[in-house]
């Protein structure tokens, strides 16, 4: 089969109804998704790598205050922003991740730099920030990341003594050379304890890529996704049980649900260019584009993507 290079992205998954999302806000999300998608697609179209494509797509969403990553990320209990991010190269199985980092403008670029310029996989907190300074990555003042919407959300969460907001952004790609990559980035939960780390930077939990099988990026209940090892389960069900991408995605969605609570949502892409958007929330912000085929951008479950028959 001809290699069908493709990129797919998600901007998080939530439980909202169409009445909760105004037409103007929905249009803004759709435009933000398309901008991020095309940032990655142009790299693939020019023969660039899947790694560079997923970084570009996620970076675009980190720069957009609509999404819970980078600018506009959720605020922790101490009113600070803490970011987690991860990237994995399916060709080499090298990975880079960062957790609990502050003031780095684009955590996904720091994760990629860790992968390419250090012997480590995961750096946290001040150590990760020191490394970012050494690599001359861009920093921003605390005020850059904070938005009135997220400050209001923190006040409400403190009143209710709750944590919420499970959005995460991510991308998976298959390049013209047949290589897969996955990237994920998040601002965490509203009113989370400072120092809390979710599934995003954990290889095999929130992010995974292997050229032989698939690439996966998750969003949802981070604690549950970590315990279920969701991204790697999609891989394992395909590799060891021989399931298709669709079958493996559905089984991973429900695996150990009797013991592990919380919603699991993810995008997955296999080595043949097949894409699955799997979610159990009422919506997922999502988009994809295969080679020169039309752009697909969707939010609601009934907006199904119909791929060209192979």
- Say if residue 68's pLDDT is above 90: yes
36-61: average pLDDT: 98
Each residue's pLDDT tens digit, 28-48: 999 999 999 999 999 999 999
Q: How far is CA 173 from the centre of its chain?
A: 12
Neighbours of 74 (CB within 10 A): 26
Distance in angstroms (rounded) separating the CA atoms of residues 76 and 101: 12
Each residue of 82-101: pLDDT tens digit? 999 999 999 999 999 999 99
Which pLDDT does position 151 carry in this prediction?
Answer: 92
Q: What is the pLDDT of residue 167?
A: 83
Spatial neighbors of 46 by CB under 8 A, at least 6 apart, are none
Residue 70: its pLDDT value, please? 96
Two tokens, residue 86: 């991860």
pLDDT on residue 4: 82
32 is in an annotated binding site: no
Q: Does 1 score more than 50 pLDDT?
A: no
Instruction: Report the side by side order of strands in the sheet with 180-186.
Output: 122-124, 95-101, 83-89, 180-186, 169-174, 6-14, 283-290, 296-298
Contact of 14 with 166, CB cutoff 8 Å: yes
What percentage of residues in the chain have a pLDDT greater than 70? 96
Nearest to 249 by CA among 268, 232, 236: 268
Encoded tokens for 71 = 């600018």
pLDDT of 264 > 80? The answer is: yes
310 has pLDDT over 80:
no
Residue range 168-194, pLDDT digits in tens: 999 999 999 999 999 999 999 999 999
| 212 labelled binding-site residue | no
Give domain limits for the chain: 6-298
278 is a catalytic site residue: no
Known binder of ligand: residue 220? yes
pLDDT the model gives residue 304: 67
- For 247-275, what is the mean pLDDT? 96
Report helix angle 107-117 to 125-134, nearest 10.
Answer: 70
Query: If you classify domain 6-298 with CATH, what class do you get?
Result: alpha beta
Residue 309 has pLDDT above 50, yes or no: no
197 is in an annotated binding site: yes
CA distances to 48, 123, 130, 177, 293 from 307, rounded to whole Å, are 23, 39, 45, 21, 9
The pLDDT confidence band at residue 294, using thresholds 50, 70 and 90, is very high
User: 221 labelled as ligand-binding?
Assistant: yes
Tell whether residue 258 is among the known ligand binding residues. no
Compute the distance between CA of residue 307 and CA of residue 274 in angstroms, rounded to an integer: 8
Mean pLDDT, residues 197-217: 97
Give the integer Cα–Cα distance in Å for 174 and 161. Answer: 42
Q: For residue 305, what pLDDT is reported?
A: 60
Among 92, 147, 163, 168, the one annotated catalytic = 168
**Best CA proximity match to 201, nearest among 61, 84, 67:** 84
Query: Per the annotation, does 169 bind a ligand?
Result: no
Task: List the one residue out of 217, 209, 255 whose CA is nearest residue 235.
Answer: 209
Q: What are phi and psi of 150, to 5 degrees?
A: -75, -30
Q: Is 90 annotated as a binding residue?
A: no
Question: Which pLDDT does position 2 carry in this prediction?
Answer: 52
């Amino acid at each position: 089969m001809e290699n069908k290079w493709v990129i797919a992205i998600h901007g998080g998954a939530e439980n909202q109804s169409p009445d909760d999302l105004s037409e103007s806000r929905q249009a803004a999300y759709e435009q933000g998704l398309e901008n991020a998608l095309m940032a990655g697609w142009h790299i693939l179209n020019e023969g660039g790598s899947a790694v560079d494509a997923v970084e570009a797509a996620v970076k675009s969403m980190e720069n957009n205050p609509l999404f819970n990553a980078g600018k506009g990320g959720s605020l922790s209990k101490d009113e600070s922003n803490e970011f987690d991010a991860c990237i994995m190269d399916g060709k080499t199985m090298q990975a880079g991740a960062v957790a609990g980092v502050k003031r780095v403008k684009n955590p996904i670029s720091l994760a990629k730099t860790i992968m390419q310029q250090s012997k480590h996989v995961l750096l946290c907190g001040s150590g990760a920030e020191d490394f970012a300074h050494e690599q001359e990555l861009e920093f921003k003042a605390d005020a850059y990341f904070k938005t009135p919407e997220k400050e209001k959300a923190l006040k409400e969460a403190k009143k209710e003594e709750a944590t919420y907001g499970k959005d995460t952004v991510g991308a998976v790609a298959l390049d013209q050379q047949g290589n897969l990559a996955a990237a994920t980035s998040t601002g965490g939960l509203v009113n989370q304890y400072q120092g809390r780390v979710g599934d995003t930077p954990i290889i095999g939990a929130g992010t995974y890529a292997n050229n032989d099988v698939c690439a996966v990026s998750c969003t949802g209940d981070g604690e549950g996704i970590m315990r279920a090892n969701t991204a790697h389960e999609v891989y394992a069900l395909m590799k060891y049980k021989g399931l298709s991408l669709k079958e493996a995605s559905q089984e991973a969605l429900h695996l150990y649900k009797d013991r592990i609570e919380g919603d699991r949502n993810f995008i997955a892409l296999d080595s043949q260019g097949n894409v699955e958007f799997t979610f159990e929330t009422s919506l997922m912000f999502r988009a994809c584009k295969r080679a020169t085929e039309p752009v697909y951008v969707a939010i609601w479950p009934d907006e199904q993507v119909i791929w060209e028959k192979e």
